[in-house]
Structures are given as C-alpha cells and as structure tokens.
Amino acid sequence: MPGPYNSYSAGVTPPDGPYHVRVNGLHGFSLAARREDGYVPVPPNDEMFTSLAVAVNIGLEMLETPAGRTALRRLGHVLVQARAQRSDSALEPFTGDLNRMEEYVDHFLERVRGDYPRVTLKRFPGGVLASTDPLMPTSHLRNFRPKQAAGFAYNLEKVESMVIAYNAYTRTARGSKASTFYLERWQNFLFILACATAHEMTHLFTLYLSLYADWPPTPKDITYHGYSQGQGGESGRWLEGVLYGGSLELYNERMEGPEQPGRPYILDRRNYYHRVDPRAVVEFVTDPRRKAETRDDLRRQGLRNTGSTSETAMPAPQTIRAMQSLSAIRKLRGYSIHIDALRQRPSRASLPLRVTAA
C-alpha cells in the first residue's frame, strides 16, 4: 500500500450531489469508556459504538456539504487574520497560504475520515456534550495527522441514554406508537451528538491551522454571543452562527431525567429562542447531506445550528505523563465502517454496520 492514509481510501462512491468526498466511511475509529478502573474498550458489536459512529458520520457530513466547507474556509481566513493582528512578538506567523484555504479544508476533512481521532466516553459536569482534548502532534498543513493532534470525549451519560432509547425501540412492535416514540428519541440523540461532533471538529480545525504555534489556538474575538473558552474564543460557536444563524441550546422540563435527549432551541443574535421542529430533526438525521446544503434550506426545516454545549475552556496540550496514562487507548484497534450503513442506519435502525479492522 502507498501509505496508511491511502490504505484507508475504501468504500463506495457516494451518490451524486453538490459535494465530493474521496474518503468514504469512517476509518481508524475506536471507542473506550472511562470507568472506575480506567479506560475500557467498547467493541464494535456494542450499540454505544454503533450509534455513536452513526452520529459522528452525520456530524462530518454536515461539514462536508458546500455550506459546511464554506463556513470552515471563512473560519480559516478569520483565524489567520486575527492571529496576525495579535501583538505577541513570540507568535509564529501562519506557515500556509490564505489563497489555499479551500485546499486546507479539503485536506483536513479527508484526513479526519481517513484516520479518525480516538474517541472516549466520560462523565461531564453541567450537561456538557463533548470536548476536544489536544495532544502533542507532529503534523503540518499538507500532512495532517488527526490521531496525533487531538482526541474527542463524549458525554457517557448521554451515549448510554441513547442506547437505552435504541434498546427500548427494539423491544416494541414495529409500526406501533411506542416504536415510533423510541425511534424518534434515538434519532434525537443522534442529532445532538452529531451537532457535538461538528462543533468539536471545528476546534480540531483551529488546531490544525495553528499547528500549536500559540495557545489558545482561537483568539478571544472569534466567538458567537459572547461564548468563550477560558482565555480564548469559541470557534465552534462562531461556525454555528455563520452556518446556521444561531447557537444550539438544549432544555429539559424540570421532571425530565437524563434519559431525555433535550429539546433543541436556536438562540439568535437578538436573544430570542426558536424551538427546532422535532419532525425536522428526524428528516435531518436521515439525510444530512440533502438537508444541510444552505442556510435557507435548514431554516425552512427548522434547523439553523450544528452547535453543542462544550467545555468552558479547551485544556492545554497533554503532557507526556498524561499521554502515558492514555497508553491503553492508543493501543486500541481501529475499525473501518462502510459508508452505506452509516447513512442508512438512522432510518433503518436494525441495520448492522459493516465493520472491518483497520
């Protein structure tokens, strides 16, 4: 094989559309859950692995649409320009070419599909859906290595609740009201975790462009609605505002427990909240490529955001000692997952994923 990246280029050609993806499916995908005795691998035949992989793919396909690529390209320009205006004399200049930002976006998205960052599940305070954990990469703009750059952590409680909804669906009679109820609850979990994926992928994109030349990688004025990450900005929220015209906020009634996915609202710049139509969520997860082509398309569907609740501050890159504590995760086997099943499963919940060892 010509190299580890090219060897991942497997799968079928996607259907015709106003987008192009040369790497199909998810490759190098692995999952581990944080338990009392450390990280425990989650195998491919576990529904946590399957459902989260489907949600991750939906989030990626959001960003692979023309609108998603355009938003990332705009973010890249704003990020480089904001860094150039900082007065820190020790700040290294951007090593790329602004005129090639579209190429960087394409390279970033293809590399992420080709060797997906390691994924963990852990408990978060305050309803946080996911976070990006920077590592210590040896990458450059034309050879991005996602697994070396960062890892993603998702809310264990939310993923477990998603699986509870899925298992409840499998126990119901097909076509019954209960079947529809639990299927839609599972699809709503797919939606919010897909949003979390797109959000965290934006943080990974800023790490890729900055190459860790400064910290935090996002200047404080790159944000939306005043959100920030400690001393830095909030690129995930910034992209939400550009791509969907608002920030995703999740709410529950007082009597609703953690098994509920939350009711999604869009917070616009005027501080008005707009409820996302539950029917639009179902339509979206079953075909994110068609539903996410333009902002107007999403607004007509009631979907104007791909954001997620994130941590208040992105942690600094892992120290050597911290990375050693994650050695068990680094040794996990990665898997390749066929694109067809990833796209079909949101509407055909009983469909098994085609998974092979990467």
Contact predicate 149/134, CB 8 Å: yes
Phi, psi angles (nearest 5°) of residue 304: -125, 20
Contact predicate 139/211, CB 8 Å: yes
As a whole number of angstroms, the distance between CA 284 and CA 71 comes to 19
Q: What is the pLDDT of residue 15?
A: 39
Q: How many residues does the chain have?
A: 358
Write out pLDDT tens, residues 166-221: 999 999 998 899 999 999 999 999 998 998 999 899 989 988 888 665 555 666 66
Q: Which of 228, 226, 229, 274 is nearest to 249 (CA)?
A: 274
* CB within 8 Å of 98: residues ≥ 6 apart: 76, 77, 80
* CB within 8 Å of 104: residues ≥ 6 apart: 76, 96, 141, 208, 209
CB neighbours of residue 281 within 10 Å: 21
Write out pLDDT tens, residues 90-134: 456 678 899 999 999 999 999 999 999 999 999 987 778 999 888
As a whole number of angstroms, the distance between CA 58 and CA 198 comes to 9
- Examine the pLDDT at 343 and tell me if it is beyond 50: yes
Give the count of alpha carbons within 13 A of 30, CB side only: 19
Question: Confidence band (pLDDT; 50, 70, 90) for 5?
Answer: very low
Q: What is the pLDDT of residue 101?
A: 94
> What is the enclosing helix (H) or strand (E) of 356?
strand 355-357
- Which single residue is written with the structure tokens 């890249």? 76
pTM over 0.95: no
Mean pLDDT calculated for residue range 31-46: 89
3-state secondary structure of 134: strand
Ranked by mean pLDDT, the top range of 21-35, 206-220, 279-293 is: 21-35
Ranked by mean pLDDT, the top range of 9-18, 151-160, 287-296 is: 151-160
Q: What is the pLDDT of residue 231?
A: 54
Q: What is the pLDDT of residue 322?
A: 42
Q: Where are the alpha helices (DSSP H) in the chain?
A: 4-7, 47-64, 66-84, 101-114, 146-149, 156-170, 177-210, 235-244, 278-286, 288-291, 295-301, 320-325, 327-330, 339-344
Q: What secondary structure letter does DSSP report for 93?
A: P
As a whole number of angstroms, the distance between CA 295 and CA 297 comes to 5
Q: What is the pLDDT of residue 293?
A: 41
Using CA atoms, how far residue 214 sits from 93, 208, 229, 233, 311, in Å, is 10, 12, 15, 13, 20
As a whole number of angstroms, the distance between CA 220 and CA 232 comes to 4
Q: What is the pLDDT of residue 294?
A: 46
Contact predicate 298/286, CB 8 Å: no
Q: What secondary structure letter does DSSP report for 260?
A: S
For the residues of 44-86, what is the DSSP string, one character each? TTSHHHHHHHHHHHHHHHHHHSHHHHHHHHHHHHHHHHHHHT-
Write out pLDDT tens, residues 231-277: 556 777 788 777 767 777 777 766 666 677 777 777 777 777 777 77
CB neighbours of residue 259 within 10 Å: 15
